[in-house]
Structure 1
Amino acid sequence: MSASLDYPEDPEKALDSVKDVDVVYAVEEAPDRVIARRFGVLSPFLSKLFASGVEARGIERIPEDYRESKNAWNNLLMWWSVNAVLTTIPIGVLAQSVFTLSFGNAVATILCFGALGAVATSFIATLGPQTGLRTMVITRFSSGYFGGTIYSILNILTQLGFSVTAVILGGQTLANINPGTLPLVVGIIIIGVCCLVPCFIGYDMVHVYERYAWMVNTVIMLFLWGLGGKAGYDISAQKPLEDTGRALSADILSFGGIVFGSLTGWAPVAADYNCRLPADTPPMRVFLLTFLGLWIPVCFVEILGAALMTITDPAYVSAFADGSTGALIAQVLSPWGHFGQFILVLLALSVIANNIPNTYSAGLSIQALGRPFAIVPRFFWTFLCFVVYTVAGVAGREHFSTILSNFLSILSYWTAFFIVIVAEEHFIFRRKNGPLGGYNLDDYDTPSKLPLGVAGILALCFGIAGAVVGMSEVWYIGPLGKMAGAAYGADLGFELAAAFSAVTYPPLRALEIKLTGR
């Protein structure tokens, strides 16, 4: 993309501090004017759109001098809002409905694998303030321009997949408020449109919404915990159905992969939402606040999902059998009558907070595919993503549990090797006294100055190979996954994907640096 898009929002302020005439000419226009002028007859319309508050900046780097001095505590509040939502509940439900785990084993798995996923995602979040770049652009410094494009494609599919599950569950819940009055298709479309609005406007509106959404969402989760307790939790109810021996280990590993994926699914977008923090923001502060904002609400809500499955009242069991998670939650709130229906509406709308990062970052990932995509305004790609996942949600509305379990398992595979490769590049090759001595951030869009990418792409391929031999899905069981479990194997996909990439990337990257110098 053109370097002109790094211009400050206030060109007059920049001119005051610039002495050189050539540089003065280079900063005389703001990003919104540069973008609008590209589109000829549409220029007046785009100018009005940007003037109304729609974000003009896309994946261009934000220079240190033009960062916003906002509190890093927004990281905690944002991720709390994103995860203390309706879409997190079904992940906990899978522990019993798919893997027949007892409540105790489900809780232990959620806590342990959740912590591991939160640590990985929180590390990626620390790179936002340090670089001023979006997450998918940061991958170019380890895997080159082409390798970054591969990650962008994977991330587009990931965010669209998350969005599909979000709009389906939100639509299911709306449809169950008063069964027979609102078609599921209409519910899905309503949720999709509500998610689009803040993402269309951009970064500032996303943070404004997420800064406050957690309050309502958390209170609703407390209501559900209380009403579920009134209906009667029976934490030993699943024990007779639980597998034993190797089969139990396989269930824990497979469910753990889903929990891990539910948290590392945010890693490919984690830097997108704090890249405007000052460059001197302490990385440890960003890490801890992100970790708490991810791990606490995810565990709290996923354990709630597991607890709701222990209710043995026939009405609750029948509700889940007939209408999945949405109907079960509607049954939990039924003792409160019309007020319960109102809470159900708010709960359905909570998925907006969850789906906002998916929608916003999917548009950025499309821009990161390359310069032809980057010159198209971000809001256009955001709108296109909304259309795609809403249509997909309508088409797959009857297969929510299958989509969720398969999607989250596969998701954990690629995010595992993505995180490992970026981390090894950061801590080994880009450390202060390392082979490269840090990042030359001005090179983010210059392929000739970025790594060739051979090492990153080969390590990526080894990661895929690790996932294939270790995975255990309904449609395929890898040889190592089969050996680790009983009849259906154990899902070791993300562990082996991370291990294969971790072992192969350092020597390959060291050789690449020796031969190319970058």
Structure 2
Amino acid sequence: MSPRQSASFEDDKENVLVDSAAVDALPERSPETAIVKRYGRFGPILERIFASGVEARGVERVPEDERSTKNMYNNFLMWCSVNCVLTTIPIGVLAQEYYSLTLPHAIATILCFGALGALSVAFISTLGPKTGLRTMIITRYSSGYAGGIIYSILNILTQLGFSVTAVILGGETLASINPGTLPLVVGIIIVGICSLVPCFIGYEMVHIYERYAWMIMSIVMLFLWGLGGRAGFDINTQKPLEATGRALSGDILTFGGIVFGSFSGWAPVAADYNCRLPADTPPLKVFFLTFFGLMVPVCFVEILGATLMTISDPAFTDVIAAGDTGGLLSQVLSPWKGGGKFVLVLLAFSVVANNIPNTYSAGISVQALGRPFAIVPRFVWVFLAFVTYTVAGVAGREHFSEILSNFLSILSYWTAFFIVIVAEEHFIFRRKNGPLGGYNLDDYDTPSKLPIGFAGILAGCFGVAGAVVGMSQVWYTGPLGMDAGADGYGADLGFELSAAFAAFMFPPLRWLEIRLTGR
């Protein structure tokens, strides 16, 4: 390690190394100027765009003197706003729509698997202040430049997938308010445009919107609880249909994978929204703000979705059997007539809060693909992401439940090995007095100074192998997944085996990589 890299943060910054002597020379200190100069005759146009408040910074590291604590507690409020939304309800609905779980089993599954997912997101979140980097850039320190590109591609697909489910459900709900009045396609486009605006402006606008969006929606969710209870919850309604033995454990494991995916899906973007916090921000504070910011709203709303499926009123029979979330909510709110339709409008637009981080981080992840992508302004990629998921939402608008179920299961597979690899790199190899002693933060965009990446990439491949042998999907069930289930139906062990295989293989591979290359 060179002398200029020997200075380290104290206490909670102890495993992060900083090149303080060269800080003034870092190009990330003035991304607006760099972009304006890069685009020649178009520079003045971009200059006016940035002057109007549009964020210029993309994947560049945030220098320490440009950070502040003003959004610290927004780390909790943001996750409340993002998850106390319409799109979280159908995840709970799946417990009875696709699986045979009674309400008590559904609740236990949501709490247990949800806590596991929230822990992983909370850990990744702590790396934002420590490094001042976006999540996909942080992956370069464990999997190299090439590995970072692979993760970025996976994350782009993840955020676009989340966005597709969000705009479809929002559009469906708008269209269901007055059937035949608003076409579903138009509803999808409206929701997509509303999601685009804050993301186009940037980081500060995202935080401003998410700071307040939870207030109205938490009241709306209480309305749904109350009206659903008035219609009559029956926690034993699913009891005669619930599986037993291995078949029941298979349903719990498979639904648990979906729940884990609904939480862990935020891990690949978790550091994006607090990388402007000071490096000396207490990690435990960031950790718990994120953990409870996820657990409280997601469990509250997913359990609501599962509970609404137990309504015993005969008027709900058809919509419950159809698994139509929009129709179910319309029926719940029907006693309020016009007031119920207004609440449906609020629910439909609540998905904007959920879709904002998807859209914003999709643009950041495209920039993380490499320098040719990073030189294109962030807002351009955000706009292209909006166009992509809106078109995909229109194309897949008739298959929402299938998209949601399969997407969240598959999502949990790659996030599981991603989280394990980043965590082992951080706690084993980048710890104080460890083999590498910290992060050389000024090397984040220098491939020759980053790990080659074969350890991270190979460990990820082993994670994929674990997911394949343990997965249980409609289109494929792995041998271990099949053995874990019963009656021809498998149990989805994909994310558990993905994490286990990667966790076992990464340390020796990474040790060998460091031994051979020194980085």
TM-score (norm 1): 0.94
* 1:263-290 Cα distance to aligned partner (Å, 9 max, x none): 0000000000000001000000000000
Match of 1:6 in 2: none
Question: What code does the residue aligned with 1:63 have?
Answer: P
Query: 1:488 corresponds to which letter in structure 2?
Result: Y
- Aligned positions of 1:325-340 closer than 5 A: 325-340=325-340
Deviation at residue 402 of structure 1 after TM alignment: 0.2
1:22-101 residue pairs with structure 2 within 5 A?
30-101=30-101
CA distance in 2, matches of 1:26, 1:122: 29
User: 1:432: which partner in 2?
Assistant: 432
Query: Structure 2: how far apart are the matches of 1:101 and 1:184?
Result: 31
Separation in structure 2 between the aligned mates of residue 111 and residue 235 of structure 1, nearest angstrom:
17
Letter in 1 for 2:518: G
Closer/same/farther in 2, CA of residues 477 and 322 from structure 1, 3 Å limit: closer
CA 1:345/1:355 → structure 2, altered by over 3 Å: closer, same or farther? same
Q: Distance in 1 between matches of 2:29 and 2:427?
A: 37
Q: Secondary structure at the match of 1:176?
A: helix
Alignment of 1:35-434 (within 5 A): 35-321=35-321, 324-434=324-434
Provide, for residues 105-135 of structure 1, a one-character-per-residue CA deviation record: whole Å limited to 9, x for no partner.
Answer: 0000000000000001100000000000000
Counterpart residue identity of residue 302, structure 1: E
Q: How far apart are the structure 1 equivalents of 2:439 and 2:258?
A: 34
**CA separation in 1, counterparts of 2:430 and 2:23?**
30
| Residues 361-401 of structure 1: per-residue CA shift (max 9 Å, x gap) | 00000000000000000000000000000000000000000
**Residue 236 (structure 1) shift:** 0.3
* Structure 1 residues 317-338: Cα deviation after superposition (integer angstroms, max 9, x where no partner): 2234457101110111111111
Q: Which runs of 5+ in 2 are unaligned?
A: 1-20
2:8 maps to what in 1?
Answer: none
Correspondences of 1:411-490 after superposition (within 5 Å):
411-486=411-486, 487-490=488-491
Q: Which residue number corresponds to residue 517 of structure 2?
A: 516
> What letter corresponds to residue 74 of structure 1 in structure 2?
N
User: Is the 2:93–2:323 contact (alpha carbons within 8 Å) kept by the matching residues of 1?
Assistant: no
Task: Provide the secondary structure at the position in 2 that maps to 1:448.
Answer: helix
Cα deviation per residue 1:161-218 (whole Å; 9 max; x = unaligned)?
0000000000010011111111111100000000000000000000000000010111
TM-score if structure 2 supplies the norm length? 0.94
Alignment match, 1:7 = none
Tell me, yes or no, if structure 1 residue 502 matches structure 2 residue 506: no
How much has 1:297 moved relative to structure 2?
0.6
Shift of 1:316: 1.7
- Post-superposition Cα deviations, 1:281-319, rounded to whole Å, max 9, x if no partner, equal 000000000000001110000000000000122322223
Question: Shift of the alpha carbon at 1:23?
Answer: 8.9
Structure 1 residues 226, 45: CA separation in 2 closer, same or farther (over 3 Å shift)? Answer: same
Counterparts of 1:23 and 1:432, CA distance in 2: 22
What amino acid is aligned across from residue 276 of structure 2 in structure 1? Answer: R
The one-letter code matched in structure 2 to 1:259 is: V
Instruction: Supply the distance in 2 between the matched residues of 1:336 and 1:28 (Cα, whole angstroms).
Output: 53
What amino acid maps onto 2:197 in structure 1?
V
Deviation at 1:69, TM superposition (A): 2.7
Amino acid at match of 1:480: L
Aligned-partner residue type, residue 351 of structure 1: V
Q: 1:350 & 1:424 partners in 2: Cα distance?
A: 36
> Which segment drifts farther, 316-325 or 452-461?
316-325
Identity %: 76
Going from structure 1 to structure 2, the CA distance change for 1:363 and 1:489 (only over 3 Å counts) comes to same
Relative to structure 2, which stretch is displaced further, 355-364 or 24-33? 24-33
Change (3 A) 1:226 1:369: same
CA distance in 2: counterparts of 1:365 and 1:184, whole angstroms: 29
Worse overlay, 35-44 or 260-269:
35-44
2:460 aligned partner, one-letter code: L
Q: Is the 8 A contact 2:412 2:495 kept in 1?
A: yes
Task: Give the direction of change, closer, same or farther, for the CA distance of 1:443–1:488 in structure 2 (3 Å limit).
Answer: same
- The answer to whether the 8 A contact 2:64-2:279 is kept is yes
Distance (Å, rounded) in 1 between the aligned partners of 2:457 and 2:24 = 40
Return the alpha-carbon distance in structure 1 between the equivalents of residues 387 and 317 of structure 2: 35
